[in-house]
Amino acid sequence: MNFDKKVFSKILIKIKNNYGSINKMAEATGITSAYISKLIRLIYKKAPSPEILKKIADNSKGVVSYYELLIVCGYIDKNLFSDDASEFIRNNLNGESNVLFNIPIISKISLGNSIIDNEYLEGYLPLDPNIYDMKIPDDYFYLKITDESVNLKVHNGDYILIHKQNFAENNDIIVGIIDDNVVIRLYKKIDGETIALEAVSSYSIDTILVNSTNLDSLKIVGKAIGQFGKF
pLDDT digits (tens, 9 = 90+) for 40-66: 999 998 889 888 898 999 899 888 888
Measured on CA atoms in the order 218, 222, 223, 228, is the torsion positive or negative? negative
CATH code of the domain covering residue 117: 2.10.109.10
Query: Could you tell me if 108 and 81 lie in one domain?
Result: no
* Confidence category of residue 1, pLDDT binned at 50, 70, 90: low
Query: Could you tell me if 129 and 202 lie in one domain?
Result: yes
Task: Give CA–CA dist 120/130, Å, rounded.
Answer: 27
**Each residue's pLDDT tens digit, 193-219:** 899 999 999 999 999 999 877 778 899
Q: Does residue 87 have a pLDDT over 60?
A: no
Residue predicted with more confidence, 172 or 93: 172
Would you state the pLDDT for residue 11? Answer: 93
Query: Could you tell me if 167 and 66 lie in one domain?
Result: no
Query: Could you tell me if 76 and 147 lie in one domain?
Result: no
Strand positions, DSSP E, the chain: 101-106, 121-127, 140-144, 159-164, 173-178, 181-189, 194-198, 208-211, 218-228
What residues make up the domain containing 70? 5-91
Mark which of 52, 67, 91 sits at the end of a domain.
91
Mark which of 60, 91, 122 sits at the end of a domain.
91
* Confidence category of residue 162, pLDDT binned at 50, 70, 90: very high
- Counting the structural domains of the chain, the total is 2
